[in-house]
Structure 1
Amino acid sequence: MTTSRQPSQLDPEIAARLKRGADGLVPAVTQQYDTGEVLMLGWMDDEALHRTLTTGRATYWSRSRREYWVKGDTSGHVQHVKSVALDCDADTVLVRVDQVGAACHTGDRTCFDADVLPLGQ
């Protein structure tokens, strides 16, 4: 893993479209490609997006560890990328994957299983 951000080889046309936050990151919503199940939210800079597009493995920037991480390299819970899209404002990435195992670091299938909030209160 790289512990500092690197200059990216992301296609300049894609890079020019991205609207990044002040930290240079865009949120990346990760979804199971065949069911539409939302699995997790990660963060990408240009290099993480480039790696995701070119390797077929979901790669994120860890804000807490300050390094790139490829989902599944340590856990075995791999995300095989099926498609990547930008939203209409180009400020969010949708990564559609075939998830192997749990997507959440807690071992849950998704990061949104454990704390469902009540409606109507």
Structure 2
Amino acid sequence: MADTRDTGLALDPKYDRDGLITAVASDAQTGELLMLAHMNADAFAATVETGVAHFWSRSRSKLWRKGEESGNELRVVDMRIDCDQDALWLIVQPAGPACHTGRRSCFYRRVTKDGLSWIDEGAGPA
């Protein structure tokens, strides 16, 4: 039987042992998956408060606002949480490329039996 976290309206994010929750961002206009990142409680709260995506950088061990250096913010149009509240879906209006490589999406390569291939033929390195 599901508990109230699964079926109720009380916001109760289930952070992992490192205090993080996974978040994916998709384009509000096209539906394209743009990126995956992680949030801690501070990033979650900042995102809700400002309407701009904030994340926890695991590599730099710090809070960061998406676009703070590049200007490529992700304005949150809708923010959804999954049934057991351990994953977030941010539906966003991107102000530019979402990927740090300069690509629109971080998901620009396909996994094949031979390794990786570019999603767009001839795309190559950015």
- Shared fold per TM-score greater than 0.5: yes
For 1:18 and 1:74, how far apart are their aligned partners in 2? 28
- What is the count of residue pairs matched by the alignment? 106
Displacement of 1:89 in angstroms is 1.4
Determine which structure has the larger strand proportion and give its number.
2
Number of the residue aligned with 1:118: 112
Number of the residue aligned with 1:67: 62
Aligned partner of residue 61 in structure 1, secondary structure:
strand
TM alignment of 1:1-121, pairs within 5 A: 13-14=10-11, 17-113=12-108, 115-118=109-112
Q: Which runs of 5+ in 1 are unaligned?
A: 1-12
> CA deviation digits over 1:3-23, x for unaligned, max 9?
xxxxxxxxxx52xx2111110
Q: Counterpart of 1:19 in structure 2: which amino acid? A: K
Q: Which runs of 5+ in 2 are unaligned?
A: 1-9, 114-126
Runs of 4+ in 1 over 6 A off after TM superposition: none
Higher relative CO (Cα under 8 Å, sequence separation at least 6) belongs to 1
For 1:47 and 1:77, how far apart are their aligned partners in 2? 21
Displacement of 1:35 in angstroms is 1.3
Tell me which structure has the larger Cα radius of gyration.
2
